[in-house]
């Protein structure tokens, strides 16, 4: 099914990701509010209990002072005043004991309060001191009971807060995990058609015969791009066929009249049809060289056309010893004519490559080195391995290649700016053929700087681990 536009898909994905985060935010807000309310209530309760305990302690000090004054002065006003403080103490104690569920300390202190109703009949000072001491002790125990109550409530609230925090942590982990899963799901919905486009583009760049089928699902913009890429591939295929046909027919059509021209030039040069003067011989020499250049160009065009029409490379293990011996034998005459010495350093007993493509690379790189290298200077050929890549270096001494030329040197029909050592004008296809051969074997060619030569062409071919 079609997923709608890319914008809609992106917005929906973001909306889905935000849902768990919003839920987490709402739950955190509720939890923090609840925790704040609990903290406020506990603070108010603790403050109230402490105030009531302090009030009882203050009343007890006043009561004790009034009782002692009464026993010394024996005035009725003091007794009435002490009775009022006792009543206030009793009321505060009842409120406090209600919150303490009338603990044992409250019962003891209540019993001590009953004694204050008959203290006026007590004449023994020692007994009075003992009773007051017991009253203070009971009040102290009540204060300790309040402290214990507050400690217990704090511990319970701490345990509750810990459980809430743990629950919140697990909920956060769950909702964040859901968000991550939704992000992965949404990204897959977007990346899947993008990767499909990448495969289509890769297939077009590698000139594969079959492209991946057009998707029936996904964002409509990407489906539209994919259809356009398929139409582009069809158009490129048509143009490629036209180019192959043009090269094939043009080359073959040119060979026949060229052969006739060459044969006529040979007859004239050999003076079969009549004697030629010096000026006419110079013209015939020019015609012969031009005919040779044209023939070379046609042969290179035919070779380039065959290369373009070649199917997938036939990889096999090639013995480098026999390969290099055959290569040197075929090019010995060209090397001797230009007084070149071939310096080879072969570190691989075998190379995994297409035999025809690899030989074309060697022939064209050597021809380029002979044509542009300094006469009498050695040409270096190295074959070695770097990790999982087979590397071929062909280097020569001579004029260095400028950075501007390096960028376009491997394009078809680009002859470069340097002078050749022969009279033949290059077609500009040699290095392009090298680049195409390397590309067909999933490799590449580049110009590198080395310390032992002025120009070095490096061909890198990945080593296929699947040995035949």
Residue spans of the domains in the chain: they are 6-183, 219-309, 312-462
Higher-scoring residue by pLDDT: 458, 275: 458
Residue-wise pLDDT for 303-336, tens only, equals 666 666 665 788 999 999 999 999 888 888 888 8
Q: What is the pLDDT of residue 108?
A: 72
Average pLDDT of the residues of the chain:
79
> CATH assignment of 312-462?
3.30.565.10
Indicate if the pLDDT at residue 299 is higher than 80: no
The proportion of the chain whose per-residue pLDDT surpasses 70, expressed as a percent, equals: 82
Question: Which residue pairs, CB below 8 angstroms and at least 24 apart, start in 463-467?
Answer: 463/352, 463/385, 463/388, 463/389, 463/390, 464/315, 464/352, 465/388, 467/317, 467/352
Contact 70, 120 (CB under 8 A): yes
10 Å Cβ neighbour count for 325?
11
Question: Coil, strand or helix: which one is 371?
Answer: helix
**CATH for the 219-309 domain, from 1.10.357, 1.10.287, 3.30.230, 3.40.50:** 1.10.287
Model confidence at 424, pLDDT cuts 50, 70, 90, reads very low
- Which of 130-139, 149-158, 205-214, 404-413 has the least mean pLDDT? 205-214
Task: Provide φ and ψ at 335, rounded to 5°.
Answer: -65, -45
pLDDT at 468 over 90: no
Q: How many residues does the chain have?
A: 468
- Average pLDDT of 154-171? 84
| Opening angle at CA 458, ends 455 and 462, nearest 5 | 175
pLDDT at 373: 86
Q: What is the pLDDT of residue 118?
A: 61
Q: Which residue has the tokens 């583009």?
A: 201
- Per-residue pLDDT, averaged over 60-65, amounts to 79
Output 14 or 466, whichever has higher pLDDT. Answer: 14
- Mean of the pLDDT values across residues 14-43? 83
Higher pLDDT pick, 277 / 249: 277
Q: What average pLDDT does range 344-366 have in this prediction? A: 91
Pick the range with the lowest mean pLDDT from 13-27, 128-142, 422-436.
422-436
Position 375 confidence tier, pLDDT thresholds 50, 70, 90: confident
CA–chain centroid gap for 30, Å, is 38
CATH number for 6-183: choose from 1.10.10, 1.10.3470, 1.10.1060, 1.20.120. 1.20.120
Among candidates 445, 439, 464, which has minimal Cα distance to 389?
A: 464
Average pLDDT over residues 159-186: 83
Q: How far is CA 10 from each of CA 13, 165, 379, rounded to the nearest angstrom? A: 5, 34, 59
Q: Taking 90 as the threshold, does the pLDDT of residue 346 lie above it?
A: yes
pTM: 0.48
Q: Which has the higher per-residue pLDDT, 226 or 163?
A: 163
At residue 92, does pLDDT exceed 90? no
- The pLDDT assigned to 1 comes to 46
Tell me the average pLDDT across 95-108: 73
Task: Say yes or no to pLDDT of 151 above 90.
Answer: no
Compute the average pLDDT of residues 22-27. 84
Tokens of 79: 């007794």
């Amino acid at each position: 099914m079609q997923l709608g536009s890319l914008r809609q898909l992106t917005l929906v994905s973001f909306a889905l990701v935000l849902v768990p985060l919003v839920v987490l935010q709402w739950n955190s807000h509720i939890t923090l509010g609840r925790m704040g309310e609990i903290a406020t209530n506990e603070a108010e309760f603790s403050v109230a209990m402490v105030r009531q305990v302090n009030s009882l302690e203050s009343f007890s000090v006043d009561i004790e002072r009034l009782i002692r004054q009464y026993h010394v002065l024996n005035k009725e006003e003091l007794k009435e005043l002490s009775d009022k403080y006792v009543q206030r103490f009793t009321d505060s104690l009842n409120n406090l004991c209600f919150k303490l569920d009338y603990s044992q300390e409250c019962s003891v202190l209540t019993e001590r309060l009953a004694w204050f109703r008959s203290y006026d009949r007590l004449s023994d000072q020692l007994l009075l001191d003992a009773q007051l001491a017991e009253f203070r002790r009971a009040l102290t125990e009540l204060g300790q009971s309040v402290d214990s109550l507050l400690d217990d409530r704090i511990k319970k609230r701490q345990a509750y807060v810990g459980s809430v925090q743990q629950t919140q942590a697990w909920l956060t982990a769950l909702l964040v995990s859901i968000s991550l899963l939704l992000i992965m799901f949404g990204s897959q919905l977007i990346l899947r058609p993008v990767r499909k486009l990448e495969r289509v583009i890769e297939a077009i760049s590698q000139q594969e015969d079959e492209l991946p089928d057009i998707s029936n699902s996904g964002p409509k913009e990407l489906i539209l791009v994919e259809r356009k890429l398929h139409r582009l591939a069809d158009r490129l295929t048509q143009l490629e066929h036209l180019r192959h046909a043009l090269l094939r027919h043009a080359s073959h059509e040119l060979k026949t009249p060229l052969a006739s021209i060459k044969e006529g030039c040979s007859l004239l040069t050999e003076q079969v049809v009549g004697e030629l003067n010096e000026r006419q011989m110079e013209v015939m020499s020019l015609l012969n060289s031009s005919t040779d250049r044209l023939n070379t160009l046609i042969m290179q065009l035919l070779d380039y056309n065959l290369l373009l029409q070649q199917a997938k490379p036939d990889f096999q293990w090639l013995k480098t010893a026999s390969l290099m011996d055959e290569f040197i034998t075929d090019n010995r005459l060209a090397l001797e004519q230009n007084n070149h010495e071939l310096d080879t350093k072969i570190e691989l007993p075998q190379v995994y490559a297409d035999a025809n493509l690899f030989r074309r690379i060697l022939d064209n790189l050597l021809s380029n080195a002979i044509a542009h290298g300094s006469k009498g200077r050695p040409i270096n050929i190295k074959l070695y391995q770097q990790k999982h890549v087979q590397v071929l270096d062909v280097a020569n001494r001579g004029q260095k290649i400028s950075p501007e030329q390096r960028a376009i040197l491997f394009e078809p029909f680009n002859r470069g700016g340097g002078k050749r050592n022969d009279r033949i004008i290059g077609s500009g296809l040699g290095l392009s053929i090298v680049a195409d051969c390397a590309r067909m074997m999933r490799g590449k060619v580049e110009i590198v700087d080395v310390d032992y030569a002025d120009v070095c062409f490096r061909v890198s071919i990945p080593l296929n681990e699947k040995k035949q």
